[in-house]
Structure 1
Amino acid sequence: MNIYKTTFLIIFYYLLNLSFTTPLRAQPATIAGDFPDPTVIRANGQYYAVGTSSEWAPHFPIYTSKNLLDWQQVGFVFSSAPEWTASSFWAPEYFYHKGTYYLYYSAKRKDDGVSCIGVATSRYPDRDFVDQGIVVAYGTESIDAFVVREDNQLYMTWKAYGLDTRPIELVGAKLSDDGLKLEGEPFSLLQDTARVGIEGQSFIKHNGYYYMFYSAGACCGVSCDYHVQAVRSKSVMGPYERVGTDFLLSENENWKCMGHGTFVHNPEKELYYLLHAYNKVGGVYTGREGLLAKLQWTNKDEPRFDLVEHKDVPQRHDPSFDLIATGQYKPFWQWDFQYAAPSFTTSDEGLRLSGTTKRNNKLGVALTKRPTQLAYTLGTEIDLLGSSNTATKGLILYGDHERAIGLSVTGKKIQLWTMAPNNRTMIAEQELPADYKKLALKITIAPSLECRAFFGQSDYWIPIESPNGPVSIEGIAPWDRSPRPGLFFNGETTESALFTRFYIDTKPAGG
């Protein structure tokens, strides 16, 4: 290839990359990125929120805010899975009682795969949670815990499935004063007689009534139709009557499939509802994000919601940073704990990544972060001299262990590849320049879901040309969570890769 053609291609890819990485934007989320089934509590003059983590470890991310609008992650509830659990870490729920913070959650039991409700406790809302085991095991699925108090009696409520031939049901039972076990027989709150799916209930008391808000429809995926409804009763145990419109929260011009939230008071005693929804730009690729709605009442004591707009949220931009142990940045990495066990350390050299795979994982180890937008640039720099030559290392867009897109280097080969069930496909390959001691890799994702790959040094980028055009990330999103960008490693247990930079950049970028 002559120098004029090479120069033309570099300029062409620069302009093309500049255009397709300009991000489309929906109305800003309250908590951006994949944060389903949020629970919220006010304590110590601020707010705390925890969301579903599904199959990502560590489990249940914790966020804090001083105003319900600006949130920052501070940690996770569990650094490792409680002994009784296997998978499906869903629907956490805060409860504060007699000086103790309770975090109820759903997970599949290791022995039989049945979804149960467990609980962890702490003196603090954001750390030091200790698992106390299973509280609810009922039917073939018990999820979506919510504790409500009537006078001096606590009640556990949850969604039950697999009760003989009955439909999905919201049920309740008396809860012991220590919050750790049920007392007495469960009773029915509401049956899904329409068989559309009901779940995610939460309660408030207003003018002598217990109002139960719940979500109906399909929660997840491109065909979701989630929405919020309400019923009320003079007693927690019912009977309940419908109140308000059929779609208290459902869809607007920016968001769809709204639901599964919990309430919190601000200092002025106003009630807010933290929920999740898919934005119409990112959809399943940014996942169910956190939204905030204010609860209002009509003169007939019927509820309605007003979504809170946060117009001053700045464009989220995760700048390039050095992967060294400065303590100034906490990336809060996550990984698919069912299929990989990463091992990583940071030092003044960078981040050293290795690890092992589990079960039938033929892909490798992915160390990932949540995306907050559909279009972004993902990049890293690898210290080749500090890394094992025969190990595969680079970048990944990870859906699960069977669906991914990667850009990596092994030996003297830079490779762009895709992973589909039982099939890893090489898309393009480039020879590693002989004089490279460090290698920069970059993947750009467009709003059209197309992505392109580049390698280079410093700010000099060379495109890796796919013979069949851009690769698409379409289809790599699991049904209940968004794909994750991150670092990738595949090698022997004695091997490792040394990364010196990593970034997810949402501002327009050049090639």
Structure 2
Amino acid sequence: MPRILSNNVVNSKAASLFLLLALSFPVFCLAVAEHQSGFRYEAPGRNTLIPTNREDSSRRKENPVIPGDLADPSVIRKGDVYYATGTSSEWAPHFPLFQSRDLLHWRQIGYVFSQTPAWASASFWAPELFYWKGTYYVYYVARKKSDGISCIGVATSKDPAKGFTDRGILLEFGKEAIDPFVIAEDGRLYMTWKAYGLDERPIELLVARLSDDGLKVDSAHYTLLRDDEKKGLEGQCLVRRNGYYYLFYSVGNCCGRGCSYEVEVAQSASLLGPYTKFPGNPVFSETADWKCTGHGTIVTSKEGKDFYLYHAYSKTDDVYTGRQGMLGELRWDAQTGWPRIRPLGEKAGTIKNFRDDFSKTALSYAWQWDFRNSAPRVKIEKGNLSLSGLPGVGNRTGTVLTVRPLDGDYEISTEVANHNASLKGLVLYGDAGQSVGVGVKNDTVQVWEVKKGERSVLQESVIPRGEHLQLKMKVEKGYQCRFYWSKDGNTWNPLKTGEVYYNGEFLPPWDRSPRPGLMHQGAVAAPADFSYFEMRYR
């Protein structure tokens, strides 16, 4: 009987459902690629925003193993080491890459791409990791520069920690090809994907054979499953157990406040189908604390157990922390053969605070930026981060460096040198047209917002020019903001915006969480100089 190669076990990814109007956004791939080629990142350590401590708690709950926004996660095992990645959407560098030895404790080791692939313009979704004949692969989704159509690309590496080399577009299929998943069968490679999501016809999950090197489609395509019920169909992965193929897939709305994701499964005696849906579907849906579960990958542990790495929204913090990386265990019914997914009951973990003193010569892996709307220029020297950049047309926010929030309640602070006419400070960033922050400019400190592309100053105070100033933002529930400034870091002066809290409910884009960080708006020759950035969770 055919079998699946054990080291490749299963994967899946994707985030789509809505058509991003990618062509309406300015694209700066060449500028960013040129800029990124000069970036260096520090070795993984405490500044990677991944908690490493666990504390005792009498209340048991399923806790994210990779907290923060990491939609459509993919995982593989090679020997004793697990690798995981997930959607990065419009953030660069693209596709954060994590490593673990137990599936529970992860550290970031870099990114799949430090430079934007030459053919791609936006929407970096659903990367799928795979290992085959001594080479690591990542099959991923991005929009083509020429027409904005989502295609499936492929990249390879001999060592994931050293990044991947892009091999270009593998598949362009109609109006959209997304959510690749690759499986090895009888010594051959097959790729499944989602098709017709933007057509006036039912969505289908398709499959085709790949070339032996995994870089070309080598056969006609076949239909695995069709969405005749029109409830959504994507984020698939395959595994073979007990003589049958099990096709796991997500149904419903993937993203945002109105999400409805859950996981179903279908069974077939043949890889190419036909597939019969489980009469007890869904096999996995919301829990007491998490909602919109789905788009995951199955991996077999060193001990022979099957686990499902998937994403879900916290019911507490919702869209403000995004779709987080969760782990569940597959349980196979001994009588019927059908699976169920049981979320892990790990004890609640301690989220570690993040501080960057810019004491190293390279940028921490924690930082990302909106590559479509700015090309950051960064210099780190003697405990100082110098930030400027080239904002795109229509960018009313400026250049930002951001980090992933791991919880909805936190405060961020920094010290900035007030020695030029640029606006520089802290930001909570949805995208270039939706943001809020506190910053220093000339002899004023101001709270500002960009809402629906329109920029306005909400509050400002006069301060002495020519000295360092400390700034702070307190955030509750992911969107309720308060703003402060201080000369010495001890006495904090509030900048009130008319309400107890500034309401940032409008900030989240449809597919990702808002992110806190540092910002600069002004001339490249007048950069923002920061001596530290700290993020403390409450």
CA contact (8 A) 2:86 2:95 kept: yes
- 1:331 deviates by 4.6
Cα separation, partners in 2 of 1:48 and 1:251, compared to 1, 3 Å: same
- 1:310 deviates by 2.1
CA contact (8 A) 2:110 2:365 kept: no
Tell me, in whole angstroms, the C-alpha distance in 1 between the residues paired with 2:175 and 2:61.
38
The one of 121, 128, 131 equivalent to 2:166 is 131
- 1:317 deviates by 2.7
- 1:293 deviates by 0.5
Name segments (4+ residues, structure 1) moved above 6 Å: none
CA contact (8 A) 1:244 1:304 kept: no
For 2:301, the aligned partner's letter is: N
The one of 165, 173, 187 equivalent to 2:208 is 173
Q: Which runs of 5+ in 1 are unaligned?
A: 1-24
- 1:265 deviates by 1.2
> Which residue of structure 1 aligns with residue 413 of structure 2?
379
Aligned 1:467-478 pairs, distance under 5 A: 467-478=498-509
> Which residue of structure 2 aligns with residue 455 of structure 1?
485
Tell me, in whole angstroms, the C-alpha distance in 2 between the residues paired with 1:200 and 1:348.
46
Tell me, in whole angstroms, the C-alpha distance in 2 between the residues paired with 1:124 and 1:269.
25
For 2:263, the aligned partner's letter is: V
The one of 320, 341, 352 equivalent to 2:375 is 341
> Which residue of structure 2 aligns with residue 41 of structure 1?
76
Aligned 1:2-401 pairs, distance under 5 A: 27-161=62-196, 165-243=200-278, 245-298=280-333, 299-311=335-347, 313-314=349-350, 316-325=351-360, 330-384=364-418, 387=419, 389-401=420-432
For 2:367, the aligned partner's letter is: W
> Which residue of structure 1 aligns with residue 467 of structure 2?
437
Tell me, in whole angstroms, the C-alpha distance in 2 between the residues paired with 1:26 and 1:356.
44
SS of the residue 2:65 aligns to: coil
Tell me, in whole angstroms, the C-alpha distance in 1 between the residues paired with 2:352 and 2:70.
18
- 1:359 deviates by 2.9
> Which residue of structure 2 aligns with residue 482 of structure 1?
513
Tell me, in whole angstroms, the C-alpha distance in 2 between the residues paired with 1:37 and 1:163.
19
Tell me, in whole angstroms, the C-alpha distance in 2 between the residues paired with 1:178 and 1:161.
27
SS of the residue 2:221 aligns to: strand
- 1:43 deviates by 2.0
SS of the residue 1:460 aligns to: coil
The one of 411, 415, 422 equivalent to 2:446 is 415
For 1:452, the aligned partner's letter is: R
CA contact (8 A) 1:284 1:477 kept: yes
Q: Deviations over 1:237-262 (max 9, x none)?
A: 10000126222111011000000001
Range moving further from structure 2, 161-170 or 296-305: 161-170
CA contact (8 A) 1:229 1:244 kept: no
Tell me, in whole angstroms, the C-alpha distance in 1 between the residues paired with 2:117 and 2:365.
23
Range moving further from structure 2, 305-314 or 90-99: 305-314
CA contact (8 A) 2:119 2:145 kept: yes
Quote the RMSD (CA, aligned, Å).
1.7
Tell me, in whole angstroms, the C-alpha distance in 1 between the residues paired with 2:516 and 2:455.
18
Percentage of identical aligned residues:
45
For 1:310, the aligned partner's letter is: E
CA contact (8 A) 2:191 2:209 kept: yes
> Which residue of structure 1 aligns with residue 52 of structure 2?
none
For 1:408, the aligned partner's letter is: G
Relative to the length of structure 1, the TM-score reads 0.90
Tell me, in whole angstroms, the C-alpha distance in 1 between the residues paired with 2:158 and 2:478.
47
Cα separation, partners in 2 of 1:198 and 1:348, compared to 1, 3 Å: same
> Which residue of structure 2 aligns with residue 20 of structure 1?
none
- 1:44 deviates by 4.5
Cα separation, partners in 2 of 1:271 and 1:311, compared to 1, 3 Å: same
Tell me, in whole angstroms, the C-alpha distance in 1 between the residues paired with 2:197 and 2:340.
32
> Which residue of structure 2 aligns with residue 13 of structure 1?
none
- 1:227 deviates by 0.4
Relative to the length of structure 2, the TM-score reads 0.86
The higher radius of gyration belongs to 1
Tell me, in whole angstroms, the C-alpha distance in 1 between the residues paired with 2:182 and 2:288.
34
Range moving further from structure 2, 345-354 or 248-257: 345-354
> Which residue of structure 1 aligns with residue 435 of structure 2?
404
Q: Which runs of 5+ in 2 are unaligned?
A: 1-59
Cα separation, partners in 2 of 1:34 and 1:164, compared to 1, 3 Å: closer
Tell me, in whole angstroms, the C-alpha distance in 2 between the residues paired with 1:325 and 1:150.
46
SS of the residue 2:319 aligns to: helix
Length, aligned pairs only: 477
SS of the residue 1:126 aligns to: helix
For 1:415, the aligned partner's letter is: Q
Tell me, in whole angstroms, the C-alpha distance in 1 between the residues paired with 2:112 and 2:433.
28
SS of the residue 1:439 aligns to: strand
